Structure 1
Amino acid sequence: MPDSARTTTSFPLDAYFERIGWEGGRRPDAATLRGVQLAHMRAIPFENLDALGGRAPSLDLSDLTAKLVHGRRRGGYCYEHNTLFAAVLEALGVRVTRLTARVVVGADRFADRPRTHMALLADLPGDPRPHLADVGFGAVGSLLEPVPLVADTEFEDAGRRHRLVHAPHRGPLEMWVLQAYVAGGWQAQYAFTVEPFEPSDYEMINWHIATNPRSPFSRRPYVQRLTPDAHLLLDGDRVTVTRTDDGTVTERKVADEAEARRVLDEEFGIDVPEGLTLLR
């Protein structure tokens, strides 16, 4: 299995674990990987406020640590979350391959979607199966815990249901598709191969997604927060709450800029950058 493992011995694990509220083990095993991913997703929100302000967020690890770990009331989107999480896993002794994926929710043809999502493949010592790990997919169908890279097997991750399947693909590598069981059926979330990508690749993709005027992340707020009870989403001027227990979905409209700021403060735990206009 190709990998882009790195050594991150100076990563501030103590501060990170305090940020996500993790008091469990620190061994490079499946139990730690599952627990830390879930804790991360419940502690650090997904948000695109830097891109909404016209700026590509820094992917430098020290900047990410300042924003997501020490910042407390900010989050980030996939490149930020998974760049940080890769450093965490490597500091724990896990070998990490950085991947890119095509977000295919609602797509008729996978090839019509570019590779704009970052995900991770984690190789655990003594475990022959790599695990798909991902703390940065901003959707209700996101993985809550890593799953083994095994085809046609259903996994339950903290109450959600996922499986990986293969899809037809013209390239030399197998195309994997992450599916989530949503609204009574299996829905494709993203498609990927296990080709490793490097930080320079994400720098380019990150700049494009953050600054392209056609990108949804540069045009409207897209923020999500995960709690044990619900998945919260602010998409433009709409707040959607999906209950964990029964999947009940409620939606409401945000009236104006002041209410949008209040919602982010009180419900998402996010401080809006000074000077940023949320609703346009």
Structure 2
Amino acid sequence: MDLQAYFDRIGYHGGTEPTHDTLGALVAAHVRRIPFENLDPLMGVPVTDLSAGALTAKLVARSRGGYCYEHNNLMREVLCALGFGAERLAARVVWMTPQGVDGPPSPQTHQALAVTIPGADQRYLVDVGFGGQTPPAPIPMISERVQQTSHEPFRLRRLGDDADEWVVETLIGERWRPLYILGMQPRPLIDMQVGSWYVSTHPESNFVVGLSAALVMDDARWNLRGRHLTVHAGGGTERVRFDDAAQVCAALTDRFGIDLAGLGDVEAKVAAVLDT
């Protein structure tokens, strides 16, 4: 793991001791500079190599982004190299589903991290790869403990009496909304590789049939879905509708800082999915 290259990529110039302050600063810098994006699955390239070398080559050296399995495994490599403890957790996404946590079980297609600081028992949820609703700060893994962030508050809550599944929620307006149901048992890398293969190849996966990109800036959330760009800032929302694929590709490059070189005819592929 080339830590200095990673620090340069995210514009990080702070301390490297494994402390709570370092953890929070790294999370904020990461989500500010490395975008969430699904261009590889969209272009027909399965995401199966989650090794430190592959992730560094793509997200750090090539000025690309990725989705949860890539972001959070890269973050895990960084944190472990700095002396933090970091375990992989799997989750079932319920964000924006009609029934939320009360609906039928969705597959475990999301990855997050449980992070510990040396000398402390407290665990923190770290998730730098949940797209437009990515938490911009570590969240204490204590039921009902509200964590204010630079954007919305977040919390974890036990799902009924089951100690092995907790729901991660964010406060939007006056309503707590669920993001995903988090399994609390550590998972090996092979489980993440299977999940990543599934979401990057299944013909009905959102990552295969649609385009998404997101960044969490200090004062705004930028979310791109197809031709629609939404910017949430200062309690207000700006919506931009791009006319064509060329404008979308320009936004991917200029707003999100994604290098499209070597991916094939991205503009043609984007044109085919603009309204998904």
TM over 0.5: yes
Partner residue, 1:6: none
User: Aligned letter for 1:267?
Assistant: R
Q: What one-letter code is carried by the residue in structure 1 that aligns with 2:265?
A: G
Q: AA paired with 1:63?
A: A
Query: Which digits, 9 at most, give the CA deviation of each residue in 1:81-113, with x for residues without a partner?
Result: 001000000001111110001111133125432
- TM-score, structure 1 as length reference: 0.90
Cα shift at 1:128:
1.4
Deviations 1:47-69 (A, max 9, x none): 00001011112312111101111
Partner of residue 165, structure 2: 175
Which residue does the alignment assign to 2:117? 124
CA distances 1:116-167 after superposition (whole Å, capped 9, x unpaired): 1000001111111111111111133x21110111111211122321111111
Query: How far did 1:198 drift?
Result: 1.1
Residue 174 of structure 1: CA displacement? 3.0
The equivalent of 1:66 in structure 2 is: 57
**The residue matched to 1:145 in structure 2 has which SS?**
coil
Looking at structure 2, the residues matched to 178 and 17 of structure 1 have their Cα atoms a distance apart, in angstroms, of: 28
Q: What SS is found at the alignment partner of 2:192?
A: helix
Q: Which has the higher helix share?
A: 2
Alignment counterpart, residue 188 of structure 2, candidates 198, 202, 207: 198
Q: Percent identity?
A: 35
The match for 2:150 among 158, 170, 173 is: 158
Distance 1:127 1:110, change over 3 A: farther
In structure 2, the residue matched to 1:4 is none
Instruction: Calculate the aligned-residue CA RMSD, in Å.
Output: 1.4
Q: Structure 2 length as normaliser, TM-score? A: 0.91
Matched, 1:37 2:46: no
Write out per-residue CA displacement over residues 34-79 of structure 1, whole angstroms, 9 at most, x where no aligned residue. Answer: 100110000100000001011112312111101111112x101000
In structure 2, the gaps of 5 or more residues are none
User: Counterpart amino acid of 1:259?
Assistant: Q
Paired residues in the alignment total: 264
Structure 1: which amino acid aligns with 2:257?
Answer: G
Q: Which runs of 5+ in 1 are unaligned?
A: 1-10
Say whether 1:115 aligns with 2:108.
yes
